[in-house]
Structure 1
Amino acid sequence: MNLLENLGIHQDLVTKDRVELSMPVQAKHLQPYGIVHGGINTVLAETAASLGANANVAPGRIAVGVNVTTQHIRAIREGEIFVVATPDHVGHTLQTWQA
């Protein structure tokens, strides 16, 4: 089982210009204070950006993350988390995405 399957992350849309993911909040996503662990937000953002980056590379090539910065806007306790990622820059060897 890979990380996306383990966490219940759904790939709703994956294109060269936009990635949309969703994940229903489950008990396994919560930290001890009952809110979604901040690492989950980072996993969602990196996953969305990586999927989009890989949609932009030539067959046989693989794009991987080199830097992730996460700002948490508000706490989530329940429901579903959605992430939308779009590219800021798609170059030959480096891409920058916002999620």
Structure 2
Amino acid sequence: MSDNFTPAAVPGAAPDLTDELVSAGVPVELRPWLRHMGVGALVVKMGIVFSHMSAERMVATMPVEGNTQVAGILHGGAHTVMAETLGSFAAAIHAGPDRHALGIEVSATHHRAAAAGLVTGTATAIHLGRTLTVHEVVMTDGQGRRLSTARITNMIRDNA
């Protein structure tokens, strides 16, 4: 697990986080881009694993266990973490190597609870523009029932 702030083993060298990317299900073609950034400590801690990654559609799973609130159901914040993760990665892919995505708004509506199993998040692009992206993220349980619907907007900026 990496936190993107821990110094590399070799001073001045970026850490190689390929093992983290493999564990998170990042496709081979995206690993060179993320090799020195990883997927982020929160993604690792939450157990998010990607199964499809593109600007138009992003899919991942997350376990309910370990991500619950005091009542024993999936925490509402976990829904939002999944939504922001999927929408932000999709926006970053859309932005390309010379630009970056910054989340500027996220909202979620919770429809039903999940107390066990895996949840699946699917982000679908609503708008992929030059300066903004918008994705809808639908979270479902193992039976395909909708748990929440979220929307995330990312601003696209040029790298400095």
Per the normalisation by structure 2, the TM-score is 0.59
Alpha-carbon RMSD across the aligned residues, in angstroms, is 0.9
Counterpart Cα distance in 2 of 1:25 and 1:75: 10
Q: Which residue is 2:129 aligned to?
A: 91
Retained in 1: the 8 A contact 2:64–2:73? Answer: no
Computing the radius of gyration over CA atoms, which structure comes out larger, 1 or 2? 2
Note the 1:70-81 alignment, pairs <5 A.
Answer: 70-81=108-119
User: For the residues of structure 1 that align with 2:119 and 2:96, how far apart are their CA atoms?
Assistant: 31
Percent identical: 37
Letter in 1 for 2:76: G
**TM-score scaled to structure 1, two decimals?**
0.94
Residue of structure 2 aligned with 1:6, choices 41, 45, 69: 45
| Alpha-carbon offset, residue 90 of structure 1 | 0.8
The Cα shift of 1:50 comes to: 0.6
**Which residue of 1 is the match for residue 56 of structure 2?**
17
Mapping of residues 11-50 of structure 1, within 5 Å? 11-26=50-65, 28-50=66-88
Between 1:55-64 and 1:39-48, the stretch displaced more is 55-64
Q: Which runs of 5+ in 2 are unaligned?
A: 2-40, 138-160
Stretches of 4+ moved more than 2 A in 1? none
The residue type paired with residue 61 of structure 2 is S
1 CA distance for matches of 2:43 and 2:52? 14
1:67 aligned partner: 105
Name stretches of at least 5 consecutive residues in structure 1 with no aligned partner. Answer: none
SS at match of 1:44: helix
Aligned residues: 98
